[in-house]
Chains A and B, each alone.
Chain A
Amino acid sequence: MGLIDNINKLFDHRIRLGIMSVLVVNENVDFNTLKELLGATDGNLASHAKTLEKANYITVEKSFIGRKPNTKYSVTKSGRIAFKEHIDALEKLLNKKN
Chain B
Amino acid sequence: MGEEKYLEDISQIKDLMNRSSRFISLSGLSGIMAGLYAITGAAITYFFLLPEPGSYVTLHSWNFRLIIAILIAVAGLSLITAYLLSSKKAKKNNEKLWDATTKRLLASFLVPLVTGGIYILIKLGSQHYGLTGSLMLIFYGLALVSASKYTIGTIKYLGYTEIVLGLICAAMPGYGFWFWLIGFGFLHIIYGSLIYFKEDKA
Contact = CB atoms under 8 A, between A and B. Distances in A.
Interface of A: 14, 17-18, 21-22, 24-26, 28-30, 33, 36-38, 65, 87, 90-91, 93-94, 97
Contact of A94 (B10, B17, B152, B153): B10
A90 B6 contact: yes
A17 B3 contact: no
Q: Is the interface of B mostly helix, strand, loop or mixed?
A: helix
Interface string B21-51: 1011000000000000000000000000000
A33 B154 CA distance: 11
Contacts of A97: 3
B16 A22 contact: yes
24 contacts: A17-B9, A17-B12, A17-B13, A18-B16, A21-B12, A21-B20, A22-B17, A24-B17, A25-B17, A25-B20, A33-B20, A33-B23, A33-B152, A36-B152, A37-B16, A37-B152, A65-B198, A87-B13, A90-B6, A90-B9, A93-B3, A94-B3, A94-B6, A94-B7
Nearest to A94: B6
Interface of B: 3, 6-7, 9-10, 12-13, 16-17, 19-21, 23-24, 152-153, 198, 202
Nearest to B23: A33
Contacts of B13: 17, 21, 87
Contacts, number: 49
A96 B52 CA distance: 78
Contacts of B23: 33
Contacts of B19: 37
A46 to B, nearest CB: 18
Task: Identify which of A21, A30, A36, A87 gathers the most chain B CB atoms within 10 Å of its CB.
Answer: A21
A65 B197 CA distance: 11
B6 A93 contact: yes
Nearest to A11: B9
A44 B12 CA distance: 18
B12 A14 contact: yes
B12 A18 contact: yes
| A-B CB proximity, top 8 nearest | A21-B16, A22-B20, A21-B13, A25-B21, A25-B17, A90-B6, A22-B16, A21-B17
Contacts of B202: 28, 30
Contacts of A93: 3, 6
A26 to B, nearest CB: 6
Nearest to B95: A25
A97 B4 CA distance: 12
A17 to B, nearest CB: 6
A43 to B, nearest CB: 20
A76 B20 CA distance: 18
A29 B17 CA distance: 12
Contacts of B16: 18, 21-22, 37-38
